[in-house]
Amino acid sequence: MLLALAGAGLWWRIAHPPLPPLFIPTRLPAQTAWAQWGATAAGTRYTEAAQIVPGNVGHLQVAWRYSTGELSRRPEAILANSTSETTPILAAGSLVTCTPFSRVIALDPATGREKWTFDPKIDPNFKLPDQYICRGVSQWRDPEAASGALCAERIILATVDMRLIALDARTGRICPGFGQNGTVRIDPGPLHHPSEVKLAAPAAIAAGSIVVGTSILDNVRASAPRGIIRAYDVRTGQPLWTFDPIPQTGGSDRDWMGDSRLKTGAANVWSVISADTQRGLVFLPTSSASPDYYGGQRPGDNRHANSVVALNARTGALVWARQLIHHDIWDYDTPAQPTLVDIQRDSRAVPALVQPTKQGYVFILDRRTGAPLFPIDEVPVPQGGMPGEWLSPTQPRPRLPKPIVPQSVKPEDAWGFTAWDRGKCRDLIARYRSEGLFTPISERGTITYPAASGGANWGAGAIDPARQIYYINSSRIASVIRLRRRAPGAGGTVKLSATEDVSPMAGTPYEVKREWLLSPLGAPCTKPPWGGLTAIDLRSGRTLWDVPLGTINDKVAVPLPFDLSLGTPNIGGPIATKGGVLFIAATMDGYLRAIEMATGKELWRDALPGGSQTTPMSYMAGGRQFVVVASGQHMWFQTKRSDEIVAYALPMK
């Protein structure tokens, strides 16, 4: 098997020769920016830093480490419900990040020395059934304020207990003119419990507006809270506008049939919003309407759920929207921050938007209008849903790029380490309904491949803007979704575990059970790689290379003298550098990796102190290029706990 994989890699390199080497400047900038969570408001995840190149990346070493202290300051029950997914930013000369409990920390970017901290003191009554999380903070520079004035540069923090807080970026002091003593409290409306709605992603800032979506606990009830997008004035915190992705009026009869729009909720934006600051637009990746796995009470395509929606950042007016799934019953939320990049087409630059999806598609659109840059076909999909269900007869599929993950599995495709477990997997696959992408969810049990965790997830992709190449990681495993009749008087509790979960979907006839499609040995029943990294030429839509991401050496009982590079499921994203080196953590094996951008070849890796389900970042400071990544537990992946931020750099001369 390993020889076969090596042969396949050789064939791929012959068919896809390396790109020309990058030009590396001899004079490097003393400082480079990483101003927002995705490097820029456009979510490019790219740095001009070019000191680290393929020829020297093997010499990277730890430059400094910083412990946030969260492991010692939180009780066990709270730590167990936390997840580390943060990416720091550079603001006012500091490296600024947040912990899963919304504490903000500012460090010296060259040394890791602590400069200031701010603790919003999360409401102790806000008990989360899923996870405490803070993916990052945002920043804004007031062009009208004098340099050095209080809050001329400010950090905007979105907390899990539904607050927006403005801090002075130099000192961490509260901005007194924002909201009430620096804080805006967001009222999410009637809830079943206080933590049914939370803020987890950094806010988008454009045209003087702070724009935030919400994370809503899935599958608790059909009448979930509405996924309302809210905007506030960045100086004062005054409310500016709201946008409900579930329109109350208008649209065609097929969009929302009858009164279906009144019997649902969600369609929220739990991931990261992008902004075109030049055009004053924000781009929303919306999720499924509620509940995820049964849509009998919400017949119709469910416009604008599972879409990319463009709004005027100052007014909230709808500019355009493109739905990527009609009537989602697979939990295929639009998971990732859209990436904005100009693409050369017919000797002109087209302002484009790149949107990866959980089902493995990459949609490339004109961000001015939503028009596709590669044709999108409406293709027939399997039918025959549960009694009372409504199904769309077709779903959108882009002709290019090709899907980044497999999208179907049959019994003959079963995989195993041995003939015995391969046979068990074959029997499992034959037991369930499995007709490819968009097979309806059933009482028999339906295989969803890729699983609802992706394909792509919130980590999104990175851009090489000069070559217009997009890099995206993906998970490639399947799950089994089964609907079960709700017992009379059944409660509304979500039951989560590492291998399966059960959600009540109150207000429908069913509850839903979700579990991974695994062999008796605990390995996926689908062929490896189970995680991958892909490079796509955005001008042609062609896949340049596709490689496994992650090893399973730490999952086998006997130490191996070679890498079992079968890929692993992954959460987090890549970053690209002008030096031609891509950095990514994300995998279950706990490494930070350096990948050659031209070929996909792994050049270097280092084991992190804890889980690696975060996105790194990179910058120049003090004449050195640093690569920084936060390390810590991920609740879904049950990875190792840590509260450390680790910075890498080349040795000082």
563 is catalytic: no
- 469: which strand partners? 464, 537
Q: Where does residue 188 rank: exposed (0-12), middle (13-18), buried (19+ CB within 10 A)? A: middle
In angstroms, the first-to-last Cα distance of the chain is 44
Spell out the residues 6+ positions from residue 208 whose beta carbon is closer than 8 angstroms to its own: 233, 234, 235, 314
Token duo for residue 67: 């412990």
SS3 319: strand
- What's the alpha-carbon Rg for the chain, to the nearest Å? 23
Count CB-CB contacts under 10 A for residue 225.
21
- Are 570 and 586 spatial neighbours (Cβ–Cβ below 8 Å)? yes
Rounded Cα–Cα distance for residues 98 and 88 (Å): 8
* Alpha-carbon 526 to chain mean position: 23
SS3 351: strand
Residue type, 274: S
User: Which single residue is written with the structure tokens 């300051």?
Assistant: 73
Rounded Cα–Cα distance for residues 636 and 457 (Å): 13
Token duo for residue 474: 């993906």
User: Which single residue is written with the structure tokens 């490819």?
Assistant: 436
Token duo for residue 119: 């603790």
Pairing, β 574-577 against β 46-47? parallel
Rounded Cα–Cα distance for residues 653 and 592 (Å): 24
Q: Is the Cα torsion angle 443, 445, 447, 452 positive or negative in sign?
A: positive
Token duo for residue 233: 């004035």
**b/e for 358-377, b at 16 or more Cβ within 10 A?**
bbbbbbbbbbbebebbeebe
Closest listed residue to residue 45, CA positions, set 423, 409, 463, 545: 463
Helices (H) then strands (E): counts for the chain: 4, 41
Q: Is the Cα torsion angle 76, 78, 83, 88 positive or negative in sign?
A: negative
Rounded Cα–Cα distance for residues 587 and 602 (Å): 14
- From 161, 168, 218, 331, active-site residue: 331
Closest listed residue to residue 361, CA positions, set 534, 567, 576: 534
Angle at 77 between CA 72 and CA 78, to 5 degrees: 65
Rounded Cα–Cα distance for residues 73 and 634 (Å): 18
- 454: which strand partners? 451
Count CB-CB contacts under 10 A for residue 516.
17
Q: What is the per-residue DSSP string for 353-373?
A: EEEE-TTS-EEEEETTT--BS
- Are 455 and 475 spatial neighbours (Cβ–Cβ below 8 Å)? yes
Rounded Cα–Cα distance for residues 418 and 527 (Å): 13
Token duo for residue 35: 């101003």
Sequence-separated contacts (24+) of 106-110 with Cβ below 8 Å: 106/169, 106/172, 107/66, 107/645, 109/619, 109/621, 109/622, 109/626, 110/621, 110/622, 110/624, 110/626
Rounded Cα–Cα distance for residues 631 and 639 (Å): 10
Catalytic residues: 331
